[in-house]
Chains A and B, each alone.
Chain A
Amino acid sequence: MIAEQVLFWVFALGTVGSAAAVVFTRNAVASAMSLVGCFFFLAGVYVLLWAHTIAAIQVLVYAGAIMVLFLFVIMLLSLSDQGPVLSFTPSRILGGVAVVALFVALTLVFRQGSDAPLTWTGDAAKLSSFGTIQHLGEVLYTQWLFPFEAVSLLLLVAILGAVVVAKPRI
C-alpha cells in the first residue's frame, strides 16, 4: 500500500510539474520535451490505475508519434522567441482567474466523493482480465467494432486532409 502512495505522488507531482513547464517555458522545443515527460509520468499514473494497455498506447502514440509530429513542425517552422512568454492583458488576467476558480470548484466537488481506498468492486471473475490487452481486444473487435472502424476511417480522412492542407500545390 505504501509503495502505491509513494508512486502516486511521484507520478502526480511529475505530471503537474512537467505540465506547468509546458505552459510556462518560452522555448517551444522545451515545451514539447516537457510534454513528452508529462506523458511518461501520466503513463505511470495509468499503470497505477491498472490500465496497462492504455499506458502502453499512451507512450507509443502520444509520447512517440504525436510528439514527433509536434517536434517536426516546431523545427520546420524554426520559430524565433520574441517578446515575453506571458503578457498581462485584462482578458488574460480574467482567463487566469477563471481557470483558478474552475480548479477550486472542481476540487471542492471531487472532495465530496469517498475517501475510501480503491478496492475491487467489480465481478471477482473479471479481476484477472481487467485492462489486459486480451480483454480489451475482445470487446473492441466484437461489441465496439463499428466505432473502431469509424475511428480508422477518421484517421484516414485526417491524414488525407493534413496532406491536402499542408501541401502548397497538389
Chain B
Amino acid sequence: MIQTISTTHYLVLAAALFCLGMLGVLIRRNALVVFMCIELMLNATNLTFLAFARERGDDLGHLSAFFIIAVAAAEASVGLAIVISVFRARGTVNIEELQSMKH
C-alpha cells in the first residue's frame, strides 16, 4: 500500500531541493554553479507556495510563484553580467580566488 500524496510530501520534496541548493552554494567553487544552486533554492520556495495554494484551495499562491520567477529572471541576468565582468577583470570565476574584499 503506497501512502497517498499529502502536502507533507510536497513540502519534504521542497526541503530536499532547498537543501541541495544550499549545499551547492556552500561547497561549490564555480560562481556559475553557485548561481544555478541559487535558482534551485528559489524553485524550492515556489514549490512550497504552490503546495500550500493547493492545500488551501486558493490560487493566490500561484501569483507569488509568478513574481518569484520574474524576480529570479532579473536576478539571473544581473548576476551573470556581474560574473562576466568579474571574469573579464580577474580571468577566473573561482570564488576561492576572488577574495580581495576579505579583510
Contacts and interface: CB of A to CB of B under 8 A. Distances in A.
B19 to A, nearest CB: 4
Interface string B3-32: 111111111110111111111101111101
A117 B4 contact: yes
Interface in B50-67: 50-51, 53-60, 62-63, 65-67
21 contacts: A22-B33, A22-B36, A23-B23, A28-B30, A28-B33, A42-B17, A42-B43, A48-B5, A54-B50, A57-B66, A58-B69, A76-B84, A95-B23, A110-B11, A110-B15, A113-B8, A121-B56, A147-B67, A165-B78, A166-B81, A168-B88
User: Chain A interface secondary structure, helix, strand, loop or mixed?
Assistant: helix
A69 interface: yes
Interface of B is mostly: helix
Given A23-B23, A118-B6, A79 B93 contact: yes
A73 B32 contact: yes
Interface string A138-168: 0110001001000100110111011101101
For the side of the interface on B, what is the size category? 35 or more
Nearest to A42: B43
B57 A130 contact: yes
Given A58-B69, A121-B56, A22 B37 contact: yes
A120 B50 contact: no
B84 to A, nearest CB: 5
B51 A49 contact: yes
A162 to B, nearest CB: 4
A5 B2 contact: yes
A103 B15 contact: yes
B74 interface: yes
